[in-house]
Amino acid sequence: MIDATGLELIAQQVRDGVDDAAVVSATYAFGDAMLEIAPTAVHPVLEFLARDADEPFDFLSSVHGVDYFPDEPRLSVHYQLLSMGRQERIGVKVRMRLEEASVSTVTDLFPTASFQEREIFDFFGVRFDGHPDLRRTHMPEDYVGHPLRRDFPIGGEPVMFTFNEVKMPRWYQGRTHSNGGMEGHSGEYKG
Residue ranges that bind another protein, judged by CB under 8 A: 29-32, 34, 58-62, 64-68, 78, 80, 84, 87, 89, 91, 110-116, 119, 123, 125, 127, 129, 131-142, 144-145, 147-148, 150, 152, 154, 173-174, 177, 181, 183-184
Three-state SS string over 20-54 comes to CCCEEEEEEECCEEEEEECHHHHHHHHHHHHHHCC
Q: In 3D, which of 67, 79, 143 has the Cα closest to residue 113?
A: 79
Q: With respect to another protein, which residue has the nearer C-beta, 11 or 34? A: 34
As measured in angstroms, the least distance from the Cβ of 151 to another protein is 12
Contact between residue 174 and residue 144 where contact means Cβ atoms under 8 Å apart: yes
Picking from 113, 190, 99, 178, the residue whose alpha carbon sits closest to that of residue 145 is 178
Nearest-approach distance from CB 47 to another protein, in angstroms? 14
Phi, psi of 77 (to 5 degrees): -125, 130
Q: Which is nearer to another protein, 1 or 21 (CB)?
A: 1
Which residue in 23, 143, 169, 155 sits closest to 92, CA to CA?
A: 23
Q: With respect to another protein, which residue has the nearer C-beta, 11 or 116?
A: 116
Shortest Å, Cβ 50 to another protein: 11
- Name the nearest CA neighbour of 4 among 24, 32, 25, 23: 32
- Minimum distance from CB of 158 to another protein (Å)? 16
Nearest distance in Å: CB 155, another protein: 9
